[in-house]
Amino acid sequence: MYTRKSKQTRFLLLGLALILLGGLSSACTKSNDPGDTEKHVLRIGVLYGGSDNEPYFRQQYTDMFEMQNSNIEFEIVGAINYDDQRFNQPTDGETVEQPDPYEEMSKMMNGQNPVDVVVLDYNMLQRMTRDNLLQNLDPLIERDKFDISDYVPTVIDGIKAAGDNNLYALTPTFTSSALYYNRKLFQEAGVEPPTDKMSWTDILNKARQMTKGEGADRIFGFSFNRWMSDGFSDVENYSQTLQLKTIDDEGKKMLVNNDQWADAWDTVAGLYQDKIVPDRDFMNTMNEANASSGKADPFYGDLFIHGNVAMVIGDSGYVSELKKANDNAASVDDFDGIDWDVVTVPTHPSTPDQGGNIYLSQLMGINVKAQNPEDAWKFIEFTNSKEWAKLKSRSNYELVARKEYLKPVGGLDYNMDAFTTLRPILPSSTTDSDIYQKNPNAWQARQIGYELFNSVVDGSKETKDALAEWETRGNAILEGQLENGDGGVGGGPIVRPMF
């Protein structure tokens, strides 16, 4: 799930709504009928409710609709109350059982008072369509001649792929990542810059060509993200589109001792061993240099902006950070700005049209058991209209799904298609959360990989031996034969989710 970067105030949203009131009204016709004074209740189901989540959702999605439809009353229903999760503290030795998100959503859709609209993320979409929980929106789109021709491929193709080429949900916004590269560094090195849809092999070969220098002046060819990360997380990012599984769907058996995992470990470990990517030692060197200079770093150690990394994977919001850095270059010593562009994130040959770090987290569908399906469709039509996209295009963090209003930030000129071309990864049949539900020890079994990967990087273990050890130790934990380092059972932390 992605993190909310900015919360607009209710006052601002209402003001903007008034400006666009005339255009937006065309997106919702039934409840705008002056003769329709009967009160309608529209129940919207979200995954996580709570004292903070409901007001935010209303500000973002329902307030403007309510302004034009005074006879519509919204009820926001959370399948899981985050406040309960947050404040229900376990006593010593007690394990708090975490609710299954999909099961709770299903209950909310099939209960005595089922919700009309359901807001879900991409991981649930395919499963819900196969379980016949969502209405097919294609007949409604055709009936009302709702124009979806300008939806970006990342969104519309991704939704169709999860619904057997049908649309069971729509989303007005999405988040995506791209490969940012420093044009000046490539020009100085005489290396051709990356292009769209390049493979991981080609990108990492370029990274090796771009790496040079020593100490604080070293230029690294590549980084998996803007900030310092660990190699184990980088392996997960590298193998994301391959959908390699750590543990089987039942949470009973490790699946790591194979050639695919070995190739992923060898590839990423080699980047650290050859110092193609920045490591913790380099970051410590940079921090010490900054401390000794006595000057604050306005870029907070961002190595790409500093010119120490030639290519980095970053989300669409990073564009605003780069623009801000260049706009203020004259105020920063020894910084002349950064000449950059973007291409699609690297792909694997087996999945050349799929990219990682693409999130369709505000998908809206209609419950097959909806009590008010007509208003449910009008609401979805409203939030996915062109007028709504025009309003939302002001955001620098989420991208709007309609290409007409998807423009480069601040009048900049960069490859916008890099964020919209690749399809999201189809969700696997079972998520990590599902596995942790079935076997609380799965979290601890997985974490052993962190320790063992580091032993491969430092040369104390061979990859094949480390993976075999991970399999053996992990299976023992899954079977309950070993406890974790704290002497308790496994299980991950409660992470704050959003809708």
pLDDT tens per residue across span 363-421: 999 999 999 999 999 999 999 999 999 988 877 678 999 999 999 988 899 999 999 99
Residue 408: name the closest of 283, 313, 284, 319 by CA.
319
Q: Please count the other Cβ atoms lying within 10 Å of the Cβ belonging to residue 395.
A: 16
Whether pLDDT at 165 is above 60: yes
Mean pLDDT over 274-296 rounds to: 81
For 214-242, the DSSP string reads -GGG-BBS-BSSSS---HHHHHHHHTGGG
pLDDT digits (tens, 9 = 90+) for 120-157: 999 899 999 999 999 999 999 999 999 999 999 999 99
Whether pLDDT at 89 is above 90: no
Kindly report the length of the chain: 499
- Confirm if 146 and 304 have CB atoms less than 8 A apart: no
pLDDT at 288: 75
The continuous run of DSSP H or E covering 446 comes out as: helix 442-457
In sequence order, what are the beta bridge partners of 367?
Answer: 134
DSSP state of 193: P
Whether pLDDT at 14 is above 60: no
Q: pLDDT grade, residue 87 (50/70/90)? A: low
pLDDT at 492: 42
- Confirm if 138 and 125 have CB atoms less than 8 A apart: no
Which is more confidently placed, 285 or 446? 446
Whether pLDDT at 493 is above 80: no
Report the alpha-carbon distance of residue 321 to residue 299 in Å, rounded: 9
DSSP state of 331: G
- Confirm if 375 and 32 have CB atoms less than 8 A apart: no
Whether pLDDT at 22 is above 60: no
Hey, what amino acid is at 466? Answer: A
Whether pLDDT at 7 is above 50: no
Report the alpha-carbon distance of residue 232 to residue 200 in Å, rounded: 17
Label residues 412-445 b or e (16+ Cβ within 10 Å = b): eebebbbbbbbbbbbbeebbbbbbbbbbbbbbbb
Residue 221: name the closest of 275, 263, 296 by CA.
275
Report the alpha-carbon distance of residue 39 to residue 31 in Å, rounded: 10
The dihedral formed by the CA atoms of 5, 175, 225 and 325, expressed in degrees to the nearest 10: -60
Place of tokens 């899981």: 80
- Confirm if 460 and 269 have CB atoms less than 8 A apart: no
Whether pLDDT at 469 is above 80: yes
Q: pLDDT grade, residue 60 (50/70/90)? A: confident
Walk me through the domains of the chain, giving residue ranges and CATH numbers: 10-176+359-424 (3.40.190.10), 177-228+278-354 (no CATH)
Most confident of 10-14, 158-162, 284-288, 482-486: 158-162
DSSP state of 359: B
pLDDT at 86: 62
pLDDT at 85: 63
pLDDT at 13: 43
pLDDT at 371: 96
Report the alpha-carbon distance of residue 203 to residue 195 in Å, rounded: 9
Q: pLDDT grade, residue 90 (50/70/90)? A: low
Q: pLDDT grade, residue 215 (50/70/90)? A: confident
pLDDT at 4: 38
Whether pLDDT at 25 is above 70: no
CB within 8 A of 77, min separation 6: which ones?
Answer: 43, 44, 45, 46, 49, 108, 115
Report the alpha-carbon distance of residue 6 to residue 8 in Å, rounded: 6
